[in-house]
Structure 1
Amino acid sequence: MQVRKLAGVALAVGGCFAAATWAQDPPAETKNETTETAQASAGEAAAAATVAPAAPAEAATMSGAPAAAPMQDAVAPAAPEAAAAPKAVEPAEPLFSAPKALETYIGRIEGKEDPIAIFSAVQLRWAMRSKATATGGVFRKHKSSKEIFAPLDREVLERVLVALEADLEARFEAAGWQATTRAEMGGDLPQLKTLANNAELGVPLFKYNDTVNAQDFAVIALPGAQPADPKAISNGMAIMKFLKGKAGISFNIVYSFAPGTVAETDSRQLGTEATSGLWFSARADLNGAKGGWGNINVPPAGLVVDGDIGELAEIAGSKAGTAENVLRFVGGLGGSDRTGYTMTPDWAATEAAMLRAGRAFNAELVARLAK
């Protein structure tokens, strides 16, 4: 759920030199011709020796060198295996073509690290609750807020995350980099502090609140992984320890989505309105083996990447009524425009929109680093 103008968030030859080293005793006719040639002038013999292969004994007569053992059927060396073709890369939509669509801080890492991308941590956040609040009016006592609740489909979200990691790998490799996924790292992983699972959801719940916007995110990690704790200071040291003796850049990437969006109304009267769109943000934190660091991220306000991904329904009784506002006014609290909604995603449309947004961010991430 996202509030515009509020700094809020709502919503990767060889040819075979088959020099067939053919050498065998030539037929009798060739021997006779070669013998006659050898009896000719020394200059002619030398010239003939460079044009036609000679039998071992005759070659020794012409060169004065000892006769070499006749070569048996020589086998040409096998051609090396052809390099694997780069993985197909899906075209990306230009969602970030605007000059300030992404915030990029890579001066300490750009061109200073080996072109190796190590996906140490890749995760996805899905807002199960999003709330945005606008405050204004006389003495800034009037509040307008919208709150959206959405369900969780872990299977869809895990599928999206796996697809986005594969897409990022393919884009780096297509750009000439080496990319290492978490699965390819095996047991050689940074020892990061992770988030604990929510007992009811079976996945971690990460809460964000900046007084203007509040979101409860279900956090999804790649298969076999647990999401890293974004507040753990020790994780930075764990990454540096992991990179010791290695080459390349460690990536910690978070894709964030919120079903349902909130925006401030364009009218003079303070208000907010909710829609059934899809909000998106993303961030990549980078740490280089040579000591460089940086990040590339969508600005905090995020962006709406699809205007309609499901059904938005008002929660009965959630709207602040006249009686409540009268009490607030008497108590000097100002008016309240508050409404709650449930969001029922069309999961097929939602998955497609998430992939479009994530691929667009991946494309820009690679474009800024692999240039």
Structure 2
Amino acid sequence: MNTFERLESNVRSYCRNLPTVFTSARNAHLEDKQGRRYIDFLAGAGTLNYGHNNPLLKTDLLDYLAQDGIVHGLDMATAAKQRFLETLEQVVLRPRGLSYKVQFTGPTGTNAVEAALKLARRVTGRQNVVAFTNAFHGMSLGSVAATGNRYYRKASGVALSNVSFMPYDGYHGPETDTITLFEQLLDDTGSGLDHPAAVLVETIQGEGGINVANVAWLRRLAALCRRHDILLIVDDIQMGCGRTGAFFSFEEAGITPDLVTLSKSLSGYGLPLSVVLIRPELDQWRPGEHSGTFRGNNLAFVTGTSALHHYWRDGQFAQETQRKGQRLRSRLQEIAALWEDAPAQVRGRGMVQAMDCGSGERAQAVCRAAFERGLVIETSGARDHVVKCLPPLTIADEHLEAALDILQQSVEATALVLSPC
């Protein structure tokens, strides 16, 4: 690791907790320079829903490269982009009764969030946006302004404005109705809450600690936005593309956002690709008004089309994800009970599940012990107190069980040495 310590910026993070040099990967496995294999319960922070080097997607990608297909095309019309748009419409949007225009933004999720916020402010003529406690939307200035974590906000170095924070579902416990509180503030001209252009929400807060919004809460939030002429933006960057079972994480709630941000697993192969889905009447951009050099990643269009074609033409993949998610949750509940003095709380949906260990010390100790035993897994939450399970959706059953066995061993080992907080 000396090369990285000597030459790479101090800002690096994942490699500090995973101190080895990885060389190859396939589906749910990573291998390092020493030939040691690891099961991946991180999956590129949700970027690798279809696993590492998925052979179905790789074949299409290599064929495209072998034919000298366009790699970089700004926002020019290309055959690869055309196939992606048509497949997205036919496989995802039309079967769900959704009508959206597609804006290709810069390469990462924060670019999509920035574009969505910018468009919402342009369309409504208002500046303020409502985000939620423990939200995470990205690291660029507009996105981090809507991010709750103080550590990330402080690093911006400037005042972060034009965002008001509301309590997320369950933030004050089950007895507090946070939607009613939100509406009271909207209705009260003395509340100090400026009429928002948009509400920006994650249906499940990934980096915030796997906080799951109740379906009824999401429906009430959508209705509130309609009543008050506020655009609803769903950030589906980490939880979309099948992570919760359905393609979009908001499908279970039966809501239709005005804007949707997608990235991470949208390309299917770990290649950069980010979009904003825009309700057609809101697509009020002028040509070139929001631009970016790398918004035409044609390799990502190829693999993204391949992923949609292979996994989303019917409901089988979603059903498999739900089945594996139920097994993951069941095992986690058994593992959480190993802390007899203070059992961890298990929460999540589909193939994103987590254990709230109550303290960062316990959660980080579990992740360290897991890495030593061959499992790559990370913490989340404002205090790094949650162990987050984010395996590839394509993980084989035997590898899922093996990973959970390692996690159980890691909890047993840490429970012996760490007292509860």
Bin for the TM-score computed over the shorter chain: under 0.3
TM-score, reference length from structure 2: 0.22
Per the normalisation by structure 1, the TM-score is 0.25
Q: Compare the two structures and name the one with the higher strand fraction.
A: 1
Higher relative contact order (CA 8 A, sep 6+): 1
